[in-house]
Amino acid sequence: MYGDFDSDLRPGGEGRTVMLVHGMWSRPSAWDNFRAFFEARGYRVVVPALRHRAEPGAEPHPELGVTSIADYADDLAAEIRNLDRKPVIIGHSMGGLLAQILAARGLVHAAVCLAPAHCAGYMSFDPGPLWIFRHQTLSGRFWERPQLPTFETMRYGILNGLPKAEREAMYATLVPESGRAFFEIAYWFFDRRRATLVNPADVSCPLLMLTGVNDRLTPVHMTKRVVEGYEGRASFETLPGHAHWLPAEPGWERIAERTAAFFEIEAPALARRIAVPALAPAGDLVPVR
């Protein structure tokens, strides 16, 4: 069904399919900059909307609040299986976590995770995310309701890498997110299904993770720990001057160029060198770090 990594890639990206996976509170329009960049480079660009996405300001879908990360992953997997080739994936925030889940299923050639949400098995006591989500976690049964942080919260912890004049306009494009999905990421240790679990041994394709130095939601130290769990199958770079909203922050062009270079130059060589390790027993968690 799918071609080999090298044969799928032609000079300038021609013939390659890239899937852009948005994160929490986002819609496909969050990728407008990257879509234009990769289309101009010759890629076929696929930008799916995660399940139950509504227009900004519209009433949330009645089932959004209980939609699982697993639902999002299954929808994306089905879309990939309808393609004529494995894509490369760029995922932002929760989309970066979903990219790793899809990689563990063997559905992608390579993935770049921008400010990725961490997967199950990793604990963080960083005060930044705890403060950002304080209203959600204290609201009672938040895992059953759609969630959208206030502008003040987003301005401080998530949109802080955007120019001040652009933050309100960006916030106006955002939509509520699944409370269940938030619970599965932030409180994975209470989630019996372990929806955000990724066994690093199941990932046999190259990964690159990029996190802004000023990111208050997915701090650098957390991304670094996740990368260490892949034991050579993933690489990590920090982005000075950047925060969390990497697809739209000033300088996004350099991030897109770095991503293209990874797919076109580094990933094919890395894919040939990566040896598939023995799989861990089903259901095993990566060690808590």
Q: What percent of the chain has pLDDT over 70?
A: 84
Residue 282 has pLDDT above 70, yes or no: no
Query: Is residue 24 assigned to a domain?
Result: yes
pLDDT score for 175: 97
Query: Is residue 36 assigned to a domain?
Result: yes
| Buried-exposed string 154-168: b where 16+ CB fall within 10 A, e elsewhere | bbbbbbbbbeeeebe
Query: Is residue 288 assigned to a domain?
Result: no
Query: Is residue 269 assigned to a domain?
Result: yes
pLDDT score for 171: 97
Task: Give the list of residues 6+ apart from residue 126 with CB closer than 8 angstroms, or none.
Answer: 219, 221, 222
R_g of the chain computed on alpha carbons: 18
Query: Number of structural domains, the chain?
Result: 1
Q: Report the run of H or E that residue 208 belongs to, with start and end.
A: strand 207-212
pLDDT score for 285: 42
- Interval 59-101: pLDDT, tens: 999 999 999 999 999 999 999 999 999 999 999 999 999 999 9
Query: Is residue 33 assigned to a domain?
Result: yes
Q: Output the domain CATH number for residue 242.
A: 3.40.50.1820
Range from 5-19, 129-143, 222-236, 262-276 that averages highest in pLDDT: 222-236
Where is pLDDT greater, at 205 or 122?
205
Give the confidence band of 13 by pLDDT, cuts at 50, 70, 90: low
For the chain, percent helix, then strand, then coil, each to nearest 5?
40, 10, 45
The residue type found at 87 is: P
Q: Count Cβ atoms within 10 A of the Cβ of residue 137 and give its class: 0-12 exposed, 13-18 middle, 19 or more buried.
A: middle
Where is pLDDT greater, at 276 or 191?
191
Residue 25 has pLDDT above 70, yes or no: yes
pLDDT score for 252: 98
Greatest Cα pair distance, the chain, in angstroms, is: 53
Query: Is residue 263 assigned to a domain?
Result: yes
CB 20 within 8 A of CB 90: yes
Residues in the chain: 289
Query: Is residue 31 assigned to a domain?
Result: yes
Q: Tokens in use for 289?
A: 């770090």
Domain holding 181, by residue range, is 5-273
pLDDT score for 29: 97
| Buried-exposed string 23-41: b where 16+ CB fall within 10 A, e elsewhere | bbbbbbebbeebbebbeeb
Query: Is residue 278 assigned to a domain?
Result: no
Other CB atoms within a 10 A radius of the CB of residue 69 amount to 29
- Interval 137-161: pLDDT, tens: 666 688 889 999 999 999 999 999 9
